[in-house]
Amino acid sequence: MDDFEKELRQTFLEEAQQLLQDAEECFLSLEQAPNDQKLIEKIFRLAHNLKGSAKGVGFSEVGEFTHDFETLILKIKSGEVETNSSVIEVLLQCNDHLRSMIDALNRDHSAHSDSRDILERVRAPLLRGD
């Protein structure tokens, strides 16, 4: 990996931390206004940007996890999944998992994360149609 690629990855990691902070604030606001479509749209854009940027710099695990996370948000956005406290809890857990993934990548750009448990929680509302 050349210096340019390393710099792109480091820039992504810095920006990802800010995106995740913004997302957490949105999730907490969503608890107070669960049907706020502008807020849900903002959350979707944050996840979409994170997914695309992660894949663009070669952090495929972050991109793949965020894709599933984004699918849940899309179902909320379309009204297929109700925005209730258990769904918001899953969103916050996803955000925490992404933070841990980003932290690990900050220490080692080749770090891997096990997302199986959290993915089960992400997919549960999709299967139930919460």
Other beta carbons within 10 angstroms of residue 22's beta carbon come to: 14
- CATH code of the region 3-128: 1.20.120.160
Mean pLDDT of the 21-42 span: 94
Supply the pLDDT for residue 127. Answer: 72
- Residue 92 above 80 pLDDT? yes
Dist. CA 15–CA 30, nearest whole Å: 22
Angle (CA) 59-86-73 rounded to 5° is 45
- Residue 130 above 90 pLDDT? no
pTM over 0.85? The answer is: yes
Dist. CA 4–CA 130, nearest whole Å: 44
- Residue 124 above 90 pLDDT? no
Domain ranges across the chain: 3-128
Supply the pLDDT for residue 129. Answer: 58
- Residue 126 above 90 pLDDT? no
Q: How confident is the model at residue 1 (pLDDT cuts 50, 70, 90)?
A: confident
Q: Residue 46 is which amino acid? A: L
The backbone torsions φ and ψ at residue 110, rounded to the nearest 5 degrees and listed phi first, read -105, 15
Mean pLDDT of the 38-59 span: 95
The half-sphere exposure of 51 on its side-chain side, counting CA atoms within 13 A, is 15
Q: Percentage of the chain surpassing pLDDT 90?
A: 92
